Structure 1
C-alpha cells in the first residue's frame, strides 16, 4: 500500500496533514509573501539580496562565503550556481539548506550514515532552485557526495525540519525558514524519494558505493509554484480541514 505521506499533496489526499501543521503552513505562507514583497518594493529580490556586496556572481562560489549559520538552531544555508554545461536542467541558482547535528542532543548517525572527511557533522535537507528574478521554482535533494554531508535516512532528516530556524530580521533569512514549513509535505516526500533512489542505485550498482557515485547526483526533484501551494492551502483551510486524521 502506498504511504499517504508519500503522496503529493492534493485536495483529494491530504488527510495526514494535521490542523496544527496546516496552521503553521498558513503562517509560513504569509511570511514568504511578505518577505518577497518587501524586497520587491525596495527594488531587490531574494537572489539579489544574498549577492548584495559581492563582486559579481561566480559559479560554484558560496554566497555568503561562509554560509549563513544560526548559532542557536545550528541551521545553515548558502546560495550558489553551477556552470551552465553542468546543469541537468535550467537552474539560475539554488539554496542548499542544512542542519548541523553535532550540537543537537540525542541525534546520532544511523548505521548507514557517511561522515564527511572534514569532520563537520551537517545534514542536507533540501535545495531550492531559483529563477533569475528571484522566484522559487523547484525543490530537490542530492546524493551524499554532493555536499559532503553526514547521511541520515528520511525519518531522521524529517525530524530535523522543525529545528530549521534562521534567526534575525533579514527578509531572506525569514523567507528560507518559512519555505521549509510551507512546503513541508513536499520536502518529506522528496526525502523519502531520495532514499528510494539511493537504494535502487545500490541494488543495480553493487560494485560501487552508492553514496559516493558521481553518476548519481540529484536524487529527487519536484517543480513547485507558490501561487498553487497557497491556493491549495487556502482552500483546505476554508473547508475546515475536513478529512483530517
Structure 2
C-alpha cells in the first residue's frame, strides 16, 4: 500500500494541475463509476460476476472459462478465467484469476518501435511464434471482486510478451466486447482505475526478466520463475481516493 500511495503522490508531484493530470483523474473517476455500476447490478439480482461462465455448475480447477477464451475480434483482445489448486500458490486467498491477452491486430499500433527489438534481443525471443501476447492477470476473491494484479512468465501461458512500454500502451487501449458484458466492464474498469500501478508492475516485470537474462539463455522458459510481479489491490480504497 505504501508503494501505491507513493506512486499516486509522485504522479501529482510531476503533473500538478496540468491537462494530463486532470485527464488521468477524470479517467479514474469514470472507471470507478463503471466498476460500481457493475457490482450494484450484480447485487440487485444476487448474481456473481462469473455466473455467465459457469452456468450454475461448480468451476473445475485448471479448465479455461470459456473453453475457447472470450474473444473480441473487433478490438483485438481476449481473456479467460481459471483457478489453480490451493497448493499451487501457498497463502493465496484468490478464487481464480483472469488472463488478458492482445491479439495480432493490436500489436503493431502499440509497439515501442525503439525498445521492442532490444527487449526481444535481450530475452532471446527471435523466431518465437505465438498467436497472442500476454498482458496481465487479475486475481479475484470468492465474491468475484478483484484482489490482485500480477504478471507471469511466458512458459505459463505458452505465448509471448512485449516490453513494458508496449504492454502498457496495449492495456491503455483495451476495449472488450466478448459477450460477457459485466466481466468485460470489470476488466476494463480495473485497468483504468489502476493505470499508474500497472505501469509500475510492468516495469518490475521487465526488470525481473532482464536480471535473469544476464545469467544466460532460457529466461522465458525458466519454470522457477512463474509470477514476475504482483500487487495486492483494494478497489474500495482506490475508489475512495478518486471520488
SS of the residue corresponding to residue 14 of structure 1 reads: helix
| Pair 1:154-2:164 in alignment | yes
Report the TM-score when normalising by structure 1.
0.82
| Pair 1:193-2:204 in alignment | yes
Contact 2:35 2:189 survives alignment (8 Å): yes
Corresponding residue of 1:8: 4
Report the TM-score when normalising by structure 2.
0.83
| Pair 1:177-2:188 in alignment | yes
Matches within 5 A, 1:50-199: 50-52=53-55, 55-90=57-92, 91-102=94-105, 104-106=107-109, 107=111, 110-113=117-120, 114=125, 119-167=129-177, 170-199=181-210
Corresponding residue of 2:18: none
Corresponding residue of 1:218: 227
Corresponding residue of 1:243: none
Corresponding residue of 1:4: none
Q: Distance in 1 between matches of 2:224 and 2:148?
A: 21
- Per-residue deviation at 1:8? 3.0
SS of the residue corresponding to residue 164 of structure 1 reads: coil
| Alignment gaps of 5+ in structure 1 | 1-6, 235-245
In the superposition, relative to structure 1, how do residues 197 and 105 fare at CA in structure 2: closer, same or farther (>3 Å)? closer
Q: Distance in 1 between matches of 2:152 and 2:30?
A: 28
Q: Distance in 2 between matches of 1:173 and 1:28?
A: 12
Task: Write the deviation string for residues 62-104 of structure 1: whole angstroms up to 9, x where unpaired.
Answer: 1011111111111111110011221243121011111113455
Task: Write the deviation string for residues 37-59 of structure 1: whole angstroms up to 9, x where unpaired.
Answer: 11122111223343235x43111
Higher mean alpha-carbon deviation, 11-20 vs 38-47, is at: 11-20
Contact 2:97 2:138 survives alignment (8 Å): yes
Q: Distance in 2 between matches of 1:222 and 1:87?
A: 15
Contact 1:62 1:80 survives alignment (8 Å): yes
SS of the residue corresponding to residue 219 of structure 1 reads: strand
| Alignment gaps of 5+ in structure 2 | 16-20
Q: How many residues align?
A: 224
Contact 1:8 1:189 survives alignment (8 Å): no
More helix by share: 2
SS of the residue corresponding to residue 78 of structure 1 reads: strand
Contact 1:110 1:152 survives alignment (8 Å): no
- Per-residue deviation at 1:169? 7.3
Q: Distance in 2 between matches of 1:159 and 1:149?
A: 19
